[in-house]
Amino acid sequence: MSGKQVNWQQNLNVLWFGTFIAGIGFSCISPFIALFIGQLGHYNATQTSMYSGMAFAAPFLIKMVISPLWGYLADRYGRKPMMLRASLGMAIVIGAMSLVTNAWQLIILRLLQGVFAGFISNSNALVAAETPKEHVGSASGKLATGNVSGTLIGPMIGGLIADTFGYRYTFVITGVAMLISFFLSLFLVHENFTPVKREKGEKQPHFLNGIPTKQILLGMFITTLFVQATNNSVTPILSLYVKQLDPHSTNIALTAGIVQAINGIAMVAIAPFFGRLGDKIGSHQILKFGLLFSTVVFFLTTFVQNVWQLGGLRLLIGISDAALLPTVQAMLAKYSPKERISQVFSWNQSFQAAGNVSGPVIGSSVVLIGGYRGVFIATAILAAINFILIRKNISSISADED
């Protein structure tokens, strides 16, 4: 095995761990955020709900706005420095959350957590740039499971730590894990970065300007937005829906946590397979399958009668996520100019954050009109719209890949 192979595989393994921890860091607070805020002051139910919503959404709103800046700096100065900035910053900020004494301190630190975003997008960009072309699909598939599974499993891990050691220790343990990720990245991740030389006075192009494949890249951004929105639309109502399906259960929170995490487990197991398959038959084929499959599964979820059926269909959603999210990463890597690859992945992270914010809003709004089952009808419609929109790009993708 050559040194080049060892190098990119080592990068991939270290960064998988880092993106997994980063995903946990953004989501581990969700099971107990309202309970924790309730301990920070004498807030009534309305105030607690308001502060909880603000604290939950804060990092995603900031990440949505600031991610492109970190992508621009990464393309100029290197992806590894941006990853080190993000991992160290997140370690400090998340650890500091264990010391807060009121809700506003927590909200401010969650905002700062969004400021220190960029580890995930630059990990994707570094792996895409350093991995041999014939392995980009499978490598991107594996790396994508780190962030997504960390985000999905994070609530279960956060709840387990909180129940065992207390709310504040969740932040301490997550911060220490992120610090470990910083040191692993510092010493074990290697980047062969050469900044692009520009003429004096030449400006960096913005967004997708000047990229021949910008239509394909924009299609991938939209897919990321829709997938995150559909996955997260169920978040605000999941425990309530589980309670409706099993009103006599005494472990609603645990059951809801398992149901929420189960699609992440499926994705971790299956995503590498779809990555390898995409390298063989074309990423566009995997993309079409994932979109159609998710539409059908979301629609079928409308008719579940018990928690077991809900869990089984959430497992199938994990299969569609395994087909969609890694494929998006692989196609971004393939169709992005190397000198702007960090910007592309950072914009994709902005769309991902937009989906994380808009999904719960959509779910909460639909419940008022169509009840809990109406949320799954709405997500099926969103998935179908995504498929229709992406088909406009499929012909050009197919011609390039076939």
Note whether residue 360 is domain-resident. yes
Per-residue three-class SS string for the chain? CCHHHHHHHHHHHHHHHHHHHHHHHHHCCCCCHHHHHHHCCCCCHHHHHHHHHHHHHHHHHHHHHHHHHHHHHHHHHCHHHHHHHHHHHHHHHHHHHHHCCCHHHHHHHHHHHHHCCCHHHHHHHHHHHHCCHHHHHHHHHHHHHHHHHHHHHHHHHHHHHHHHHCHHHHHHHHHHHHHHHHHHHHHHCCCCCCCCCCCCCCCCCCCCCCCCCHHHHHHHHHHHHHHHHHHHCCHHHHHHHHHHHCCCCCCHHHHHHHHHHHHHHHHHHHHHHHHHHHHHHCHHHHHHHHHHHHHHHHHHHCCCCCHHHHHHHHHHHHHHHHHHHHHHHHHHHHHCCHHHHHHHHHHHHHHHHHHHHHHHHHHHHHHHHHHHHHHHHHHHHHHHHHHHHHHHHHHHHHHHHC
Q: For residue range 245-277, what is the model confidence (pLDDT) as tens digits? A: 888 777 766 677 678 778 777 877 887 788 778
3 pLDDT band (50/70/90 cuts)?
very low
List the structure tokens of 222: 């939209």
Note whether residue 201 is domain-resident. no
Note whether residue 203 is domain-resident. no
Give the mean model confidence (pLDDT) for residues 202-226.
Answer: 81
1 pLDDT band (50/70/90 cuts)?
very low
Q: Residue 392: give its domain's CATH number.
A: 1.20.1250.20
Note whether residue 174 is domain-resident. yes
Q: How many domains does the chain have?
A: 1
Domain interval for residue 54? 3-191+210-401
CB 114 within 8 A of CB 59: yes
Asked if pLDDT for residue 140 goes beyond 90, the answer is no
Give the mean model confidence (pLDDT) for residues 213-241.
Answer: 83
199 pLDDT band (50/70/90 cuts)?
low
Asked if pLDDT for residue 280 goes beyond 90, the answer is no
Note whether residue 197 is domain-resident. no
Note whether residue 350 is domain-resident. yes
pLDDT given for residue 5 in this prediction = 47
pLDDT given for residue 330 in this prediction = 82
The whole-model pTM stands at 0.77
Note whether residue 196 is domain-resident. no
Q: For residue range 315-338, what is the model confidence (pLDDT) as tens digits? A: 999 899 888 888 888 888 888 887
Give the mean model confidence (pLDDT) for residues 39-65.
Answer: 82
89-98, 144-153, 212-221, 329-338 — which one is most confidently predicted on average? 89-98
pLDDT given for residue 401 in this prediction = 53
Note whether residue 369 is domain-resident. yes
